[in-house]
Structures are given as C-alpha cells and as structure tokens.
Amino acid sequence: MKKNYIQYYKLKIIFFLTFLLIQTNIHLFSQGGSYNPPDGRTAGLAGTGNALPGIGLWTWQRNPGFLHYIDSAHTKLSIKIPAFSGQALTNSLSMEDINFYFAKNAGKGKILSDKDKANLVDAFSGDGKMFLNTEIEYFSIAFMPDSNTGTFAFSFKDIFAGSAVLPQSLVDLVLNGNDSGKIYSFNDFELQSWYLRCYSFGYARKISMKIGSLKNLRVGITVKYIQGFAYANSKVTDSYIYTGAYNKLTGDLTAVTKASFSPNLNVNYDFDSTSTGQSGKSYSFFSSDPAGTGYGFDLGFATDIGAGFHFGMSLTNIGVLDWTNQPAQMVTKANFAVDDLIDKKQLDSLLNSMSTSGTFIDNINTGLPTALRIGLSCEIHKYIENFAGSLIVAMDIDEGFDNLPTNSTSPRISFGAMYYPGSYFPTFSLGVGVDQVGKTRFAAGLGYETKIVDFFAGTTDVITLFGGNNAMHFSAAVTALWKIY
C-alpha cells in the first residue's frame, strides 16, 4: 500500500509539472465570439440579445443594424457606463471536488479508493475544459441626429480571456499509470490566453426598401481598432506515454508555446540573455505600448416583421491581429524511460530529459473570434389586448468559425423572456441556453428603467447562486445606460 501510494503521488507531481513547465518558459503571464460574456441586460436572458428591441447601444455590438432602432427615436443621445461582465466555467471539477481530491489531511495527501479514481477520471470525460472571460466596457456613446441621418456610436473596452483543455488520458495515466500495455495521447492539451483593448466606431441607418411584410429595414457597420497587450498559446503535439510490464514507462512529449507581450509588461524569456526590446517601464493604462495590433469589423442588418416581431442577422469580429513585439516560440521536448519512480536517480533523469529551446520569430498572426449571429424576438404585449405591462420573448443562434478565446465552432442556442409590469416596477428576466462546455444553464436578471437611466444586472447561471462549492460556472454582469436626451 505504501509503495503504491508513493508511486501514485510522485507520478501525479511529475506529470502535472511536465505540463506546467510548458508555461514556465515565460516569467509572467498571470497579469493580465459567440460565447463572449453578455452585458447586464442580456445576461438574465442567457445571453439572448441578437434582435432585442430597445435603445441601440444595448444590441449594437451583437448586431450593428440595431444601433439605429426606430422606436427609440426619442432618445437621441445615450451613454453606457459602467458596464462589466465576466464568467468562469469548467466541465470537470467543482470547488468541492477539488477540496475532496487534492486537499491535505493532517499534512498528508489523500489516498484514493478505486471508486474515487473512477469518478475522477469520469469527471474529465470528453477532456477537461476551462474558460475564463471578462469584459470591462469603460465608455460607450451613441448619437442619432435624426431618423434619416442614422446613428453614430463609439466605445472602448478591455477583454481578458483564456481557456484550457486537459485531456482525460492525462488524468487516467496519473491515477492508473501502473496498468501495462496502454498508450496515452496528450495531443488535445492546449492553453490559450489574451488581453485586448478594442476601440469601436459604428454607424447604422434605415434604408428605403420594402420586402414583403418586412419594414424598417436597417443596416449597420462597426469598424474596430484592436490593441493586444498579451498573448500566449501552448499546444502539445506528438506526445505519447506507453506503460509496460513492471511499471515501466516510456514516453515522448513535445509542446510548442507561442507568446508576445507588451514591452511595458517587462517579460523576459529564459533563452534571451539580452532582453532586447523591453522598455523597463511599468504598465500604464493609457501609455503602454501594445504587443500587437489589428483591425476588424461587424456587418449587420435588422428589420421589423409586422407589429411586434424583430429579426436580425450579423457577422461579427471579421479581422486579424498581428503580434509583432518580440513574438517568441518555445519548444519543450522530453524522451524518457523509467521503471522505478521511487528511485531518485530515475526521477532526476526523467526531469532532466526535458529540454526547452526558444527563439524570436517574425510575428504571430491570430484571427478574431468571428461569429454568425441570428436573432428573433417578439413583443407579446402588442398582440394581447389589455396586457398588463410588456413582455418580450427572444431566441438566438450563434455560430463561431474558430476556437479562439470567447468563441467556439459549437453552435450556441438560447431563449429568453423579459417582463416589465409597468411604472415603478422592476424588469424581470429569465433565460435558458447552452454554455461553452455544452451544459444547459438557467439565467435570471433584474432591471430598473427610468426616464434618465436603465440599470440591469444578471447571471447566465442562476443555479450558481445556490450551488455553493458544487458550482462549476460563475457569471455576473452589471450595466447602466444613461438616456441624455
């Protein structure tokens, strides 16, 4: 029992260190699409907002066509501040699971039963996926001189996003590595993160065209200038471990990391003894130099159908980012064969078998989280006589074209309903949708609307509020929109 425990414990440490070492080539990174965190209004609708009626700033960054919203012509100037949204989710372990499996008891590691091991491996079924997305919209403004001229808008915001994929085979090896005759592949392992600042300029207007029952047809475009301050991506390729008789392990591991950082973050790489290009200055919000820049744009159209239906379609985040400040590539490789993990010499040889080489490269090109967004909403109260208040129901379909942070090639479908009883009452929102790890989430939100300001707060997973340590999804968003005149 003691020997098996030591083997398990050391094996766990070694293989987690192997993949952590992929990132230790960089001395700094923790500083700071279709699944981007929603604002306070749409969070309570499970992110549903591609065709939601209202003042243009609410829906602009999902569909620029809705920036020019006919029914809100009485509001010519609006400002959105503050606006914060964030979400963190995983499909594998909750905080309670982490405490159960990894917390020490009287300074000693936990000995897992066969059932515990099976449950832990099953928790990573389909690979363990983790996502962290945060958006801070510092300022947004929209101005509509008149209905014929159209609507102009500007905003700037910061985006922090990251994701990780931990293969189930790694967990299986850690827990059941003594089984002979098995081959483990780690090629699905990936870490990616970035920190961006986006300046958006938008314009939308009504066009004189009638198509059947469609009316108030609007088109819009948003042009974006994007600064990137940090980027890192690590992928494991051609990496396998073989288990043989008598606990013998042989393996080949290869990991490639690409990264670029603002010179003001003063990141130094192990392979670079000269540290050329680093500014020696600390990071400053307004004056720091970006690591990369790029341009993007959104295209969208919106229309009303009959008295209370609204439809919209848009293509968002079309563009590229070019990372040019000391873009680096690091390759970590290991080739080893051990048969006794208790032998210190063999443990040392395993660790020493890892080698890392790095070099500066010309640049790193990344796309943007491009997505197709389709939305449909209906103002129910316009079809029911003497309806108390107003009720809007909506549906979204979002399809990403890549797997960059905040995006996914898995489609997102969501439904939402927003009810406003009338003057002096708050607005209530409910929604249901699928998150980035394929789980169904139930959303809820609360808002208060006045002649001067609309304030909304919501979460895309209301169960989180009651789940405690069992929760595997956290989401929160708050937004205030000021109606100047």
Q: What confidence score (pLDDT) does residue 351 get?
A: 67
7 SS3 class: helix
Q: What confidence score (pLDDT) does residue 25 get?
A: 38
pLDDT score of 180 more than 80: no
Alpha-helical (H) ranges within 228-356 are: 344-352
* CA–CA gap between residue 283 and residue 286 (Å, rounded): 9
Q: Is 94 buried (19+), middle (13-18) or exposed (0-12) by CB count in 10 A?
A: middle
pLDDT score of 156 more than 50: yes
> Of 5-14, 266-275, 389-398, 434-443, which has the strongest mean pLDDT?
389-398
Task: Report the pLDDT averaged over residues 5-31.
Answer: 40
Two structure tokens written together for 406 = 């905040």
Task: Report the pLDDT averaged over residues 254-259.
Answer: 90
Please tell me which residue, 106 or 215, carries the higher pLDDT value.
Answer: 215
Task: Count CA atoms within 13 Å of residue 376 on its CB side.
Answer: 5
Task: Report the pLDDT averaged over residues 328-334.
Answer: 88
* CA–CA gap between residue 143 and residue 150 (Å, rounded): 9
Listed range (119-133, 220-234, 276-290, 464-478) with the worst mean pLDDT? 276-290
Q: Which residue has the tokens 């790029």?
A: 294
Task: Report the pLDDT averaged over residues 141-165.
Answer: 92
Task: Report the pLDDT averaged over residues 330-344.
Answer: 74
* CA–CA gap between residue 189 and residue 271 (Å, rounded): 24
pLDDT score of 392 more than 60: yes
Q: What angle do CA 72, 77, 78 make, to 5 degrees?
A: 80
* CA–CA gap between residue 134 and residue 84 (Å, rounded): 8
203, β-bridge pairs: 152, 221
**How sure is the predictor about 32, in pLDDT bands with cuts at 50, 70 and 90?**
very low
**How sure is the predictor about 91, in pLDDT bands with cuts at 50, 70 and 90?**
confident
pLDDT score of 391 more than 90: yes
Listed range (22-26, 229-233, 436-440) with the worst mean pLDDT? 22-26
Please tell me which residue, 317 or 210, carries the higher pLDDT value.
Answer: 317
Q: What confidence score (pLDDT) does residue 179 get?
A: 65
pLDDT score of 268 more than 50: yes
Q: What confidence score (pLDDT) does residue 3 get?
A: 44
**pLDDT > 70 in the chain, percent:** 84
Q: What confidence score (pLDDT) does residue 63 get?
A: 95
- Give the mean pLDDT of the chain: 83
Contact between 389 and 62 (Cβ < 8 Å): no
Backbone angles phi, psi at 119, to 5 degrees: -65, -40
Architecture of 2-483 per CATH? Beta Barrel (2.40)
Write down the domain spans for the chain: 2-483
Task: Report the pLDDT averaged over residues 451-455.
Answer: 93
313, β-bridge pairs: 301, 374
Residues 6+ apart with CB under 8 A from 302: 51, 63, 65, 66, 69, 216, 217, 218, 220, 310, 311, 312
pLDDT score of 9 more than 50: no
> Of 51-65, 107-121, 335-349, which has the strongest mean pLDDT?
51-65
Q: What confidence score (pLDDT) does residue 10 get?
A: 40
